[in-house]
Structure 1
Amino acid sequence: MEVSQTIETEEDMLTCLRIKLFSPQQDARAPYRSLPVGERKRLAADDPLRLGRDAQACTFTLADPRVSRKQLAFHAYRTPRSPDLLFTVQNLSQKGRMSVSGLALAYLERADLPDKALIRFGEYEMLVVREPGEAKASFEVAFEVLPVAPSMETGMGAPNVTAVMDSGSCFCELRSHGPLESDETLMCHY
C-alpha cells in the first residue's frame, strides 16, 4: 500500500503568526537585520517567542538600543473548547509601555491576541495576524517589514496617539523615543 505524497499532515497545517513591523527609523538603523525577514521559522508551541535586543534571552532580536533587552513575548495556548492554537502577548519591558489594539499593558501584563492586532512599543508598530492551522506542538512565524505604519494603512489609529474609550474617558498613550521609567499614560477627559 502506497502513501500519497499530497496528503496534508500536521506539519503542513501549522498556525502562522505573521508579524509585520514598522519603525520610522528603519531605513537609517536597519533594526531588522537579525530577523528572518521573508522566511517562515518553525517554533515549538511550549516555548514563548521572545522579541527584544538581547540575543541570548530572546528568540528574535531587534538591533536598536532603544528596544528593551526583553521587549515582549508571545505565548501559545489552547482551550478545551477550541482546537485552534491561540496566543497571548506579554510586555516584558520594565521601563516601556506597550499597547495591544489600544489596550495599554504594563510590565508583565498579558493580553489575549486577537486574529489581527496592532501592537505598539516605543516608535515601533507591529501588525500581527494569526493564520489558523491544525498543528498543536508547533507553529510558524513570518516577519515582514512595512514601508508605512500599519496604523495608517489599516485605519487602526493615528501613528502617535492611541485612544481607548472607557466609560466616557479617553486614555491617550503617547509614544516615547525609548523605554522610560516614568508613566507614559496621560488621562484626557472629554
Structure 2
Amino acid sequence: MENNSQTMETEEDLLTCLRIKFYHPQQSSKGLYGLLPLGNRVRHSADDPLRLGRDATACTLALNDIRVSRKQLVLFAYRTPQSPDMLFTIQNLSQKGRLSVNSSALGYLERMDLPDKALIRFGEYEMLITCDSGEAKASFEVELDVLTVPPSRETCICVPSMTPVMETYRMDSFTAELGPFETDETLMLHS
C-alpha cells in the first residue's frame, strides 16, 4: 500500500513570487513603510485581490502616507487556458491620482495586464514589480523591499563589452529622406 502523502500532488511546490520594491524621495525621513512586512515573503491567496493604499483595514499592503489614496491600486491574479503561469492585472483605484505602468497612464478603475517587469508610478512613489513564475494555482508569494535609488534611473540594459549607442536622425542630402542612424555617444561631431 502506497503512502498517501507521497502520491498526493503538492501544488505548493513552487509558488509564483511578486517582488515589489518601493522608492519615495523622502523615505528615509518618514516611516512610510512601517506597516509593510519588508524583507519577508508573505503567502497570498490567488482569489483574493492584493490591495495597496493607506487604509490598513481595507488594503493588504498599507503605506503610512496621507497623500496616498485610501485604496490606491489593486493587483488581481488570474490564469488563461493557454498558459500554466499565473498572470496579474493592475487596476487604479484612486479617483484623484493617476497611475502609470511603464509610462502607460491608467485612469480611475482602468486596468491593464502587468508585464513580468513593471515600473509603477503614483504620486512621488515608484514601485518596481517583477514576477517569478511558479507552479502553484491557489496562492502566490509577495516579497517587499525598499530601493535606495529610484528604479526609473535604470535607463539602459547594455550588453557587456558593447558601447552604448544613441539613435539620432539625419537628412540625407541626396535622397531628402529622413532616417535613423546610430552614433557612438563618445564621438565628437565636427563642423
Distance 1:124 1:118 in 2: 10
Distance, in Å, in 2 between the alignment partners of 1:154 and 1:9 is 41
Counterpart-to-counterpart distance in 1, 2:37 and 2:4: 34
Aligned residues: 155
> SS of 2:13's equivalent?
helix
After TM superposition, give the deviation of residue 10 of structure 1 in Å.
Answer: 2.2
What does residue range 152-171 of structure 1 map to in structure 2 within 5 Å? Answer: 152-155=153-156
Is 1:111 the counterpart of 2:112? The answer is yes
Matches within 5 A, 1:130-141: 130-141=131-142
Change (3 A) 1:46 1:19: same
The equivalent residue for 1:71 is 72
Instruction: Report how far residue 3 of structure 1 moved.
Output: 8.5
Distance 2:133 2:109 in 1: 26
| Corresponding residue number in structure 1 for 2:122 | 121
* 1:43 maps onto 2:44 in alignment: yes
1:25 maps to which residue?
26
Report the Cα offset of residue 155 of structure 1. 4.3
Residue 56 of structure 1 deviates from its aligned partner by: 1.1
The residue identity in structure 2 corresponding to 1:122 is G
Report the AA paired with residue 25 of structure 2. Answer: P
Give the structure-1-normalised TM-score: 0.77
Q: Compared with structure 1, are the counterparts of its residues 27 and 108 closer, same or farther at alpha carbon in structure 2 (3 Å cutoff)?
A: same
The alignment-based identity, stated in percent, is 68
Q: Distance in 1 between matches of 2:4 and 2:148?
A: 45
State the alpha-carbon separation in 1 of the partners of residues 49 and 156 from structure 2.
29
> In the alignment, which residue of structure 2 is the partner of 1:52?
53
Q: Which runs of 5+ in 1 are unaligned?
A: 157-190
Residue type of the alignment partner of 2:79:
R
How far apart in 2 are the matches of 1:56 and 1:79? 31
Q: How many Å separate the matches in 2 of 1:11 and 1:154?
A: 36
2:86 matched residue in structure 1:
85
How far is the alpha carbon of 1:153 from its aligned partner?
2.9
SS at match of 1:29: coil
Structure (1 or 2) with the larger CA radius of gyration: 2
The gaps in structure 2 that reach 5 residues or longer are 158-191
- TM-score, normalised on structure 2? 0.77
Query: Per-residue CA shift, 1:27-80, capped at 9, x if unaligned?
Result: 111200110100000010001000000011100100011100000000000001
Report the CA distance between 1:9 and its aligned residue: 3.6
Amino acid at match of 2:122: F
Q: Aligned with 1:13: secondary structure?
A: coil
Q: How far 1:12 moved relative to its partner?
A: 2.7
| 1:94 is aligned to 2:95 | yes
